[in-house]
Structure 1
Amino acid sequence: MRRSVEGCSELKKLFALHICLIPDASPAASRLAVSQEVLSGGSVQAWSDYLSVRLHPKSVYVIRQYMHDGDCGCLEAFGQGESLLQDPSCIEELEDRLHFYVEECDYLQGFQVLCDLHNGFSGVGAKVTELLCDEYSGKGILTWGLTPVTSNGGDSQKNVYRVMNTALGIARLSSHSSLFCPLSLRGALGLKPQPPVTFPYINYDASLNYHSSAILAAALDALTAPYRLSSSQGSMMHLAETLTFGGRKVVAAWASLPFPALRGSSLPDTLRAYPQALPWKLLSPCGERKVGCCFAQSVVLRGIRKESHVSSCPGEPPTAPLHACESTEQTLQRYLHTLFPGAFSTSHVLEQPCHTLPPYPQFFSPLLTRQGFLLDKPPRYSSTAVESVPVLAALQSSPLLHTLLYGLYKDVQKLNTRRWASFFSAGVEQDDFQEALEELRTLSQCYEMGFEADESEDEADSD
């Protein structure tokens, strides 16, 4: 298994370290010809095949105790991951690698941590964020918990382990992070399977991590723009503080990929086509897909020209309030205020689109132009690759998260933990497990509306 700490990059003289807790690549997969795989649409297995920049030796730490793949020797339980970072020599080496990069920073914004939730990396991530929280108090820690779209539904042990790892991971990661966001195209995190997220202009294979990770990467690139832009006054901590008030440390991600703008249409005309809800999809597995109210949100729209707020009929009086706006930023902000009148909303509009040249998969609809805008009808010839797409993405503190957190809590509560002694033999104590479940339940209550709180109390009384 591999833990990669990527080098920091300068943006407005502020720095962030990106810590990715990811599996190593297999030797066979590393010999794949990337260009041939992309062009032929073949099944790509290894993330490292697409690295165009060599990683610094200080940025890679290989966990040799566990295999990357196979039926045995896998890092499959939360306690196994936690125990890895209880070794003093491991902690010392990790701190040495962190200090190597931190010392290169003029001003450290904080850390981004990406890790799996469904396996033992959940425990590794929990200990890493705890270390960062203790040693770099006051710095932003934004954590993204990843879960594969599909899993082995026929293996009851793996399914139960997945849910228990996820519950422990969310409870621990959120407590040590400034902000925590679960990211997945999976329908739900609980025991009951649900169909994966679908997109109207993307035909992706949910069984390929190559496809699902490409979608999530495009969304993540947009979601993190507010503190990476040289023109922005915000920081990682500022973003977290605007979304996590009231104890709501968990946020949900939404994305429209691509943003469905007709070629040549103005932004007001595009938004007016969706008067009740934005055309985005939920990327945090809450089990529900409908847009409702929210407490706070950070919205980013990229790939839209600054002059696109102008009506398609210049010189005529505005036909709607959106057409009266003086900029794309004002147009988006007014639209958000109309849809979410009680929410604290921040918005950013960027001209630069999301680039989708190889090795990005070409799974787009033929209705898209080379720049990712919609056509009125399919072209006669659709051999042109989509080189870029506009993207709309948002982080929301929303009542939907009550469904995710409380539903996961209820699923784990129903399990007979005595049947899964092997999970606890890896290092998690029963008392600590129950404490984490109570933290999860308490966290879920932060997202309740009035009538939901009454229902939850009734359910608790009946348990």
Structure 2
Amino acid sequence: MKELLTLQVGDFANFVGSHFWNFQDEVLGLAEDPNGDDVFWNSGLEMDTLYRIGETRHGVETYTPRLLALDLRGSLGAVRSCGSLYNKAPHGDSSSVTSWTGPISTFREEPITKNKFLQSLDEEHECLSDQSAKFFSVNQGSGQDHTYKQADQEIVQDLEDGVQFWTDYLKAHTHPSSLFEIQGAWNGVTPFQDFGCGRGWLSETTQAEEFQNRFRFFVEECDHLQGIQVIVDDSGGFSGVASDLLEGLMDDFGKSPFMLFTVRPPRIDVQSSSMKNSIVETLHDAVSFSKLSSLVDLVVPLQVPNFGRSELSRHLCIKESSFFHTSAVYAAAISNITLPFRMRNFGPSESYTLNIGSCDMGGMLRSLTWSSARKVAELATALPAPAVPGANESLDLTKLISLSPFGQSSVDESLSVEAIVFQGARLLGSKGRASIVDVVNSAYGSNRNRSKGVNFAHLAVSLCPLAIPLPFPKIFRSSVGHYGDILADGSIQKQVRSDVSSVPVVGRLKTSQVAIPYIKEKITDLQRFGISKASAGSSLLQQWGFPSEEACDLKESLLEMVAGFGGNMDTSTSDSD
């Protein structure tokens, strides 16, 4: 087994992470259900890749994500940072402080009330500790089943109406070292809108050492760490925090592969900002991308400007203003594309019955990047995935929907490399589950997929679909069936349904020249607003910790990326501006 460590930095990144862990938790639960679908209890997935086995002080065994999640103080809602599995002593009150003899003022805030979902988790935890209650819950009558279904609907609706924190719908129990609140920075109070706001926040205190100790705790208990998957909310100050953290980890853990997903919530405010704010935002985007990408082996930017106008809206009904909704799509795509990292290795006779394409993170990254400079990838998905056609037809993989902000452009596909991951594929016409052979023949036999000369770096196929947990938003239109079959045109069927139990997903991770215009835009912005002598943002870069030489280094790293993809950049005017 090769373990993975997951690092989540920032509010929206943790919204994405909560959905990601709910998907994994749902598979674990279904694998233990003797009456459930055998595709889950015989899934061919090695969940110990993501989870660690431990025990409490009382000897009770625990199974928690190998996770470090960072956010501001006050961002955990009704959940304690130490989690609920371990009884950790609370912090002492002011009466225990003997070094201060002056007056003391106490400010106390009422604890946040748990929502219906979190209350149900507490009740379930209490019931499972009582064998008689557990036996009763398994042997319900039909009337009780109806009651519980009604309760589930109320829980889902409560989440739809009132999710405020990413912990409001997190199913997984966490280790006491997993949730890290940045001291002195408060959610909704502390300014945290750009790269400079976050840079230096941890490194200037003892918190950086505490974080590294927690990181080392998870790493040192691994037998064979295959890599670190990182999700960062790079829309504001957390990109600066992530930059400091990743720089601090390079000395001790730089030999391990780092795969970074940068995520951003859709921007709802369309009002024009001031020139100053516009420059700050533009420089933030350029600095954040160039700095973070220089610290990892592969960066996958995820940003859909408008879900309602994208092809995703055909079968998904997504509220643009809801972090709960938008983060669910990103989490599904990340869970899908990282599936090969947690697949079990099987012999030749077994592989075509459960899954094929198991690989570790390092192997996939090496095949996608070719060189250290070619480190930006596009992630595209289909949620739910289209059905696999008959034996004599092939599935068109060129119409997957991109989640990356690269736009469309004609590129030399002979320089493109892609990895494709199918899970839970269905047969056309709602004929049930497609076999591994059906999917492989459909993918490799497609002339449309090969017409532009795209190189296949990897193909992974798993029979296990994406299991939809209870605290998942109601985003599937009525055109999606109970098992994710596409029943009708979603543009006509506007109603949503809440009884979707699983969906097939296909994802494509691709490195190609389509990323070049995006990188060039960052170079131009950095030069125009931060590096040139007359730029309005040069002093701002210095405040962020980038004097002129280091700012030029950022630009050079971006130029190397362009060259890594076979492009060129005219810099003849850069010194004369």
Question: How far 1:429 sits from its partner (Å)?
Answer: 3.0
Question: How far 1:340 sits from its partner (Å)?
Answer: 4.5
Structure 2 contact 394–443 (Cα < 8 Å) conserved: no
Which of 462, 483, 505 is 1:371 aligned to? 483
Give the whole-Å Cα distance in 2 for the aligned partners of 1:21 and 1:179: 21
Give the whole-Å Cα distance in 2 for the aligned partners of 1:29 and 1:197: 38
1:283 paired with 2:394, answer: no
Bigger drift between 242-251 and 148-157 goes to 148-157
1:116 paired with 2:233, answer: yes
Structure 1 contact 187–287 (Cα < 8 Å) conserved: no
Bigger drift between 218-227 and 18-27 goes to 18-27
Where 1:414 maps in the other structure, the secondary structure is helix
Which of 282, 293, 303 is 1:163 aligned to? 282
Correspondence list, 1:334-349, <5 A: 334-335=445-446, 338-349=450-461
Q: Aligned residue pairs: how many?
A: 431
Structure 1 contact 113–142 (Cα < 8 Å) conserved: yes
Give the whole-Å Cα distance in 1 for the aligned partners of 2:334 and 2:425: 18
Question: How far 1:219 sits from its partner (Å)?
Answer: 0.3
Correspondence list, 1:333-412, <5 A: 333-335=444-446, 338-376=450-488, 385-412=499-526
Change (3 A) 1:37 1:209: farther
* Aligned residue in 2 for 1:211: 325
Question: How far 1:184 sits from its partner (Å)?
Answer: 1.9
* Aligned residue in 2 for 1:102: 219
1:137 paired with 2:254, answer: yes
Question: How far 1:150 sits from its partner (Å)?
Answer: 1.0
Give the whole-Å Cα distance in 1 for the aligned partners of 2:313 and 2:493: 20
What is the one-letter code of the residue matched to 2:116? A
Where 1:172 maps in the other structure, the secondary structure is helix
Question: How far 1:251 sits from its partner (Å)?
Answer: 0.8
CA-to-partner distance for each residue in 1:104-145, whole Å, 9 max, x for gaps? 212111211111112111111122222332211321111111
Change (3 A) 1:168 1:21: farther
Give the whole-Å Cα distance in 2 for the aligned partners of 1:147 and 1:429: 27
Aligned-residue RMSD, C-alpha:
3.8
| TM-score where L is the length of structure 2 | 0.65
* Aligned residue in 2 for 1:317: none
Mark the runs of 5 or more structure 1 residues left unpaired by the alignment: 189-193, 313-324
Question: How far 1:37 sits from its partner (Å)?
Answer: 6.3
* Aligned residue in 2 for 1:66: 185
Correspondence list, 1:244-259, <5 A: 244-246=369-371, 247-259=373-385
CA-to-partner distance for each residue in 1:315-364, whole Å, 9 max, x for gaps? xxxxxxxxxx9542243133375244242431111111112242111222
Give the whole-Å Cα distance in 1 for the aligned partners of 2:198 and 2:495: 51
1:202 paired with 2:323, answer: no
Structure 1 contact 180–251 (Cα < 8 Å) conserved: yes
What is the one-letter code of the residue matched to 2:403? L
Percent identical pairs in the alignment equals 23
* Aligned residue in 1 for 2:204: 87
Give the whole-Å Cα distance in 1 for the aligned partners of 2:232 and 2:268: 17
Give the whole-Å Cα distance in 2 for the aligned partners of 1:291 and 1:387: 39
Mark the runs of 5 or more structure 2 residues left unpaired by the alignment: 1-9, 26-44, 52-65, 79-110, 118-151, 346-356
Which of 436, 440, 456 is 2:558 aligned to? 440
Where 1:113 maps in the other structure, the secondary structure is strand
CA-to-partner distance for each residue in 1:291-310, whole Å, 9 max, x for gaps? 983521111011116xx599
Where 1:394 maps in the other structure, the secondary structure is strand
| TM-score where L is the length of structure 1 | 0.80
Give the whole-Å Cα distance in 1 for the aligned partners of 2:497 and 2:265: 31
Structure 1 contact 30–46 (Cα < 8 Å) conserved: no
Change (3 A) 1:371 1:260: same
